[in-house]
Amino acid sequence: MGASGWSYSVAYQPDVAAALRQLRQDVYDRGEYYREEPDPTHALAEDEFRATLDPAHDDSGINEFLLNDWRAAQRRPRPVDPDSLLAAQPYSGTHSVIDMVDGVSDEPTACTVSPLTGEQLLAYFGTVHPTPDQVLAWMKSFDPYPIRERWEGVYVVSYVDGRPDQIHFTGFSGD
């Protein structure tokens, strides 16, 4: 499928980690994420699943691999919140901010959002206090690869009349 870009803006609060946790929950509650199609074999009992396997593959180890994969899928949690959703579909992710499961970090790190540096703020916006319109325009054309890898997000605080106004989150995630 490939990664998907995502962007969100929320009202400013001093605790960026709390804002991110709330945003992840809001995105989950709204259903604004990629959801894997359910595999019909996961509804089968183990003996029913075994009956679907090709006996010609018994000696090759393929059937044992398929059975172990099926058992692992049976142990995955049923989604009830952002974290269990991500755990239920570990191979694809959610293609949303929900994938930023490890919260906020000072430096770009997998599954986190981190701030732009002062130099990056100046390069992108000409100021360390960009306006919401500047950040929104930047997010529309955001190319993460010079500054972030897939599964790494970024956040920017925007300002109105010199005061923090919004926190903007953007990134690319999912497979």
Q: What is the pLDDT of residues 58-113, one digit of tens each?
A: 888 888 888 888 888 787 777 899 998 988 887 889 999 999 999 999 999 999 99
Position 1 pLDDT exceeds 70: no
Residue found by looking up tokens 């950040």 in the block: 135
Task: List the 113-115 sheet strands across, edge first.
Answer: 4-11, 163-173, 153-160, 113-115
Instruction: Classify the C-alpha dihedral 120-7-1-39 as positive or negative.
Output: positive
Decide which of 5 and 167 is more confident: 167
Q: What is the pLDDT of residues 103-130, one digit of tens each?
A: 999 999 999 999 999 999 999 999 999 9
Asked if 171 contacts 100 with a C-beta cutoff of 8 angstroms, the reply is yes
Q: What is the pLDDT of residues 20-38, one digit of tens each?
A: 999 999 999 999 998 877 7
Q: How would you classify the pairing of strands 153-160 and 4-11?
A: unpaired
CA distance 127 to 117: 11
Average pLDDT over residues 143-165: 93
Residue found by looking up tokens 């991110």 in the block: 20
Per-residue CA distances from 96 to 50, 111, 150, 155, 158 (Å): 35, 11, 12, 14, 21
Count of other CB atoms within 10 angstroms of residue 98? 24
